[in-house]
Amino acid sequence: MSSTFRILFLARKTKLNKEGLATINIRLTIDSKSVEFSTKIFVDPNLWNAKFGRMDGKSKTATEINNSLNAMLARLKIKHQEILDRDGYVTSEKLRDVFLGKIGLRQKLLELFDEKIIQMDRLVGTTIKQGEVDKFIGTKKRLA
């Protein structure tokens, strides 16, 4: 099944910070469902090129920001492909959460709990009691 996938960088010129800089947001659109979140990068709104989603000019600041945006774009595409290969489908919310590290860390932590529980199961009766394993299982369930 084919799906649409689009990444857009937007400068929020209506919401300027105290220094008069606009934040750059990422809008992810997959199958006409979009989510938007901040990159935590601020730019001069007068130097932002909305058509290309990049800063104008060759200044050091513009080059650094454009390089950061290109790196984010590449990471988003890699994460999109990883999720697609692993789960078979991608949603904009899932891609955002994986990109921001909200899902990846949680999954790794649960996997670590599984490994520890398996290790502890092998030691039941020799060095530890079943009750200790049960406590780990309960903690994993609450964490999940």
**pLDDT reported for residue 104:** 59
Separation of alpha carbons 11 and 42, rounded Å: 8
Is-contact 96 28, C-beta < 8 A? yes
Structure tokens at 88: 């078979």
**pLDDT reported for residue 2:** 59
Of 70, 55, 54, 78, residue with least CA distance to 5? 78
**Which parts of the chain register pLDDT below 70?**
1-2, 104-107
**pLDDT reported for residue 105:** 47
